[in-house]
């Protein structure tokens, strides 16, 4: 068995109930995942083939086959849509055994458990046919990128790589931080993390965690120092470069070689991980604020493609197009994507995930869909969930891109008035 040319697919079998909808995962494998994977070229000149354990009985022991696939396969693609215990078990094994070559996908609207909420999961859909084809193209792009980059994507391996022998006091502080986060007390977690990163046995990942928490609270000056420290210690850490670029833009710290604050760091993040749609979208925001709207649109279009139309880059792409052309003209594909994005963001809004942005995105999606009443409801939820003034200001500036669009967008003045 040539595992170097295999992408092992981890997913449920048969038909499962997902939020009251019967989903045929065997059909999804045959019509979306397998066609997207099969034939992807490897850098050595071979081609990748998809495999599932129920289709290959080499030893007669399906568990042994599973472990071999998880350890030795060039790639593993895990579909976490069903929140299936076996899928998470196999994903955990893969993350423990291999530091790269793992791809996570899910259908939109799935509420993820707290522990994996930050996992980078690419969205896909299997109906209608147009959405299925878009999903096949996205998955092929991600598979091809993973074959070339072989970047660290295992949180287990990342932790093990940077783990040092730590004192009991440091371990106790780290545990206290996790408890504060689980209890939704960010400032309690920040206080303990500040103490932790001052200890000699703290790691770059501890500083990264502190920077992310400070970012959420709008404490940009301290955050940018931490992200800079992390990129200095770990120059190949793409996510740290992305967060550094975002923070540099907020604090207006420009590199001499860049026209916009944060641009250099964000381009470095993209160079390290081309598939990270967050980095492309963040670069779009940086370029937009610098008045470079055509370049910003290109970045948002790239983010939209890599994310299979995630609501954030999709909305910004639409608004920039409208601002540049003076009209909001939605194609049939745009209208389908808008409905899909609305379902996704509504599910996250109801679950209070990614606040306040899930509420603000939901408000914009409702506005563009002509549902002004629901747009106001979601906007107010976003304002109530905001923890820093910049969050509301960012949303307001985003809405203002639609001013002057012809014909005028019904309900836009009402939303802007709510934010004054």
Mean pLDDT, the chain, whole residue set:
88
Of residues 48 and 404, the one with the higher pLDDT is: 48
Interval 129-141 mean pLDDT: 89
- End-to-end, the C-alpha distance of the chain in Å comes to 64
Distance (Å, whole) CA 418 – CA 398: 14
Fold of the domain spanning 308-419: 1.25.40
pLDDT grade for 341, boundaries at 50, 70 and 90:
confident
Mean predicted confidence (pLDDT) in 137-165:
81
Determine the average pLDDT of the residues in 5-11.
95
Residue 258: pLDDT band (50, 70, 90) is low
Asked which of 61-75, 147-161, 172-186, 214-228 is least confident by mean pLDDT, the reply is 147-161
Task: Specify the range with the lowest mean pLDDT, choosing from 2-6, 300-304, 330-334.
Answer: 330-334
Residue 333 vs residue 187, higher pLDDT? 187
Output the pLDDT for position 57: 44
Q: Look at residue 113 in the predicted model and tell me its pLDDT.
A: 66
The answer to whether 78 touches 102, Cβ cutoff 8 Å, is: yes
Q: Residue 76: pLDDT band by 50, 70, 90 thresholds?
A: very high
Q: Which residue has the higher pLDDT, 377 or 148?
A: 377
Residue range 345-360, pLDDT digits in tens: 888 888 788 889 999 9
**238 token code pair:** 């793409």
pLDDT tens-digit series, residues 293-320: 999 999 999 998 888 778 889 999 999 9
The CATH fold assigned to 203-307 is 1.25.40
Reply yes or no on whether the pLDDT at 60 is more than 50.
no
Tell me which CATH code domain 3-161 carries. 3.40.50.450
Q: Would the CATH topology of 203-307 be identical to that of 308-419?
A: yes
Q: Which residue has the tokens 């309690």?
A: 188
Enumerate the domain spans of the chain: 3-161, 203-307, 308-419
pLDDT, position 59: 45
In degrees rounded to 5, what are phi and psi of residue 123? -80, 145
Six token digits for residue 308:
């299979």
Q: Which two tokens stand for residue 282?
A: 């963040």
Residue 275 confidence (pLDDT) above 80? yes
φ, ψ of residue 41 in degrees (nearest 5): -75, 140
Q: Report yes or no on whether pTM surpasses 0.95.
A: no
Antiparallel, parallel or unpaired: β 49-51 and 121-123 = unpaired
Look up residue 187 and give its two tokens: 């400032």
Average pLDDT over residues 118-126: 81
- Is residue 376's pLDDT more than 90? yes
Share of the chain above pLDDT 70, in %: 92
How many other C-beta atoms are found inside a 10 Å radius of the C-beta of residue 149? 16
In whole angstroms, what is the distance from residue 367 CA to residue 410 CA? 8
Q: What is the pLDDT of residue 350?
A: 84
Q: What share of the chain is helix, strand, coil (3-state, %, to 5)?
A: 60, 10, 30
Q: Mapping DSSP to helix (H, G, I), strand (E, B) and coil, where does residue 57 land?
A: coil
Distance CA 150, CA 79 (A): 20
Q: What is the pLDDT of residue 167?
A: 83
Q: What is the pLDDT of residue 196?
A: 93
Q: How confident is the model at residue 163 (pLDDT cuts 50, 70, 90)?
A: low
164: closest CA among 213, 211, 205? 205
Report the alpha-carbon distance of residue 31 to residue 28 in Å, rounded: 5
User: What pLDDT does residue 58 have?
Assistant: 46
């Amino acid at each position: 068995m040539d595992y170097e040319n295999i992408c092992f697919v981890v997913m449920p079998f048969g038909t499962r109930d997902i939020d009251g909808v019967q989903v045929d995962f065997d059909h999804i494998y045959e019509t979306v995942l397998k066609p997207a994977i099969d034939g992807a070229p490897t850098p050595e000149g071979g081609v990748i083939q998809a495999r599932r354990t129920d289709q290959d009985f080499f030893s007669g022991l399906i568990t042994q086959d599973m472990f071999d696939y998880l350890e030795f396969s060039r790639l593993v693609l895990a579909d976490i849509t069903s929140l299936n215990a076996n899928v998470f078990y196999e994903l955990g094994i893969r993350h423990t055994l291999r530091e790269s070559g793992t791809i996570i996908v899910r259908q939109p609207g799935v509420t993820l458990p707290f522990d994996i909420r930050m996992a980078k999961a690419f969205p896909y859909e299997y109906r209608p046919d147009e959405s299925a084809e878009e999903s096949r193209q996205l998955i092929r792009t991600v598979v091809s990128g993973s074959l070339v980059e072989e970047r660290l994507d295992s949180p287990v391996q990342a932790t093990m790589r940077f783990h040092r022998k730590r004192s009991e006091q440091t371990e106790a502080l780290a545990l206290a931080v996790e408890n504060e986060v689980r209890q939704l007390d960010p400032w309690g977690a920040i206080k303990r993390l500040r103490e932790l990163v001052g200890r000699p046995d703290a790691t770059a990942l501890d500083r990264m965690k502190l920077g992310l928490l400070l970012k959420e609270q709008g404490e940009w000056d301290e955050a940018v120092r931490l992200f800079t420290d992390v990129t200095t210690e770990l120059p190949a850490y793409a996510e740290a470069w992305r967060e550094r670029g975002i923070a540099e833009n907020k604090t207006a710290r420009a590199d001499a070689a860049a026209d916009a604050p944060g641009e250099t760091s964000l381009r470095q993040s993209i160079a390290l991980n081309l598939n990270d749609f967050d980095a492309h979208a963040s670069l779009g925001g940086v370029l937009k604020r610098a008045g470079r709207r055509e370049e910003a649109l290109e970045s948002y279009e790239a983010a939209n493609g890599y994310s299979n139309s995630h609501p954030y880059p999709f909305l910004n792409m639409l608004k920039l197009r409208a601002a540049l052309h003076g009209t909001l003209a939605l194609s049939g594909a745009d209208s389908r994507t808008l409905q899909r994005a609305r379902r996704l963001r509504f599910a996250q809004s109801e679950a209070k995930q990614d606040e306040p942005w899930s509420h603000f995105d939901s408000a914009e999606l409702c506005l563009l869909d002509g549902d002004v009443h629901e747009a106001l409801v979601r906007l107010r939820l976003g304002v109530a969930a905001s923890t820093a003034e910049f969050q509301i200001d960012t949303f307001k500036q985003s809405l203002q891109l639609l001013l002057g669009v012809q014909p005028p967008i019904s309900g836009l003045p009402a939303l802007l008035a709510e934010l004054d």
